[in-house]
Amino acid sequence: MDTRHDTKVLPRCRKLGHEITFRYCGTAEEGLPCGGIAGCWKNVFNIESFLADNYSNDELGNILNRKKSRMDIILEQLKKTRDGER
């Protein structure tokens, strides 16, 4: 997996409402990218090329059609914290 963008920062995540790294966005949903990743990062770098180079067409379809709500993400993070996961 291409990690050169991992430390780039998005000033405000649409779902969480605060600054977030690309690495988080790339693993936000059970280790796969957030469903909104293409829209959020399109003005930062060529996200379409990144996704095409790192994921198959089937994976891309699953990624882009899967969008969790802000509450789903918060509840998952709370559970991970409670369970001692990162």
pLDDT value at residue 5: 84
Question: Does some domain include residue 26?
Answer: yes
**Secondary structure (3-state) at 20:** strand
pLDDT value at residue 86: 58
Question: Does some domain include residue 15?
Answer: yes
Question: Does some domain include residue 81?
Answer: no
DSSP category for residue 10: E
Question: Does some domain include residue 69?
Answer: yes
Q: pLDDT tens digit string along 46-73? A: 999 999 999 999 888 888 777 667 787 7
Q: At what angle do helices 57-64 and 47-54 cross, to 10 degrees?
A: 130
Domain ranges, residue 39: 9-76
Helices (H), ranges, 21-69? 22-27, 37-41, 47-54, 57-64
Q: Are strands 9-10 and 20-21 parallel, antiparallel or unpaired?
A: antiparallel
Q: Which residue is listed with tokens 């003005």? A: 43
Tokens of 40: 């959020």
Higher pLDDT, 17 or 72: 17
Could you tell me the pLDDT band of residue 21, with boundaries at 50, 70 and 90? very high
Indicate the pTM of the whole model: 0.68
The domain total for the chain is 1
